[in-house]
Amino acid sequence: MTTTIVAQIRAIRTGHSERAQVHAVCARGRDFKIEVGTDEVPGVVGDLIVLSWTAHANPVFATSTAPTPEAPAPAPARATGEAADVDHQFDALMRGAAARQAPTPEQQLAALLGVPGNKAG
């Protein structure tokens, strides 16, 4: 499908390069700005410009129409703060029992490398 727009040129901006920007506005109030060579500037401010284009699929980036399979949903993870665990930890602290501490990163590394080190506890 070809799209054609007729717009009025509102500004032509040129600078120190060989390019110019043509700013045009269509009857719907939409702005169109294109960059052209200064030797290709189409007319003057107030003239009409006709823009026409067609989009084509790029065969290099063509995507297949086959749907991609969805990844399986992950299994629900066990909540780390379930009520029973929290109650057990609270009871142990209230009885004065020493809560087992998680190993430090140094202790975890020592265990992975098989090097004797301080044990968690």
Q: Which residue has the higher pLDDT, 7 or 79?
A: 7
CATH topology of domain 2-55: OB fold (Dihydrolipoamide Acetyltransferase, E2P) (2.40.50)
Q: Cα–chain-centroid distance for residue 21?
A: 30
Q: Which residue has the higher pLDDT, 47 or 67?
A: 47
Q: Which two tokens stand for residue 64?
A: 């297949």
Query: Residue ranges per domain, the chain?
Result: 2-55, 83-113
pTM above 0.75, yes or no: no
What are the phi and psi torsion angles at 94 (to 5°)?
-70, -30
Which residues have C-beta within 8 Å of that of residue 93, sequence separation ≥ 6?
99
Q: Would you place residue 41 in the very low, low, confident or very high pLDDT band (cuts 50, 70, 90)?
A: confident
CB atoms within 10 A of CB 111: 14
Given the structure tokens 């004797």, which residue do they identify?
116
Supply the mean pLDDT for the chain: 78
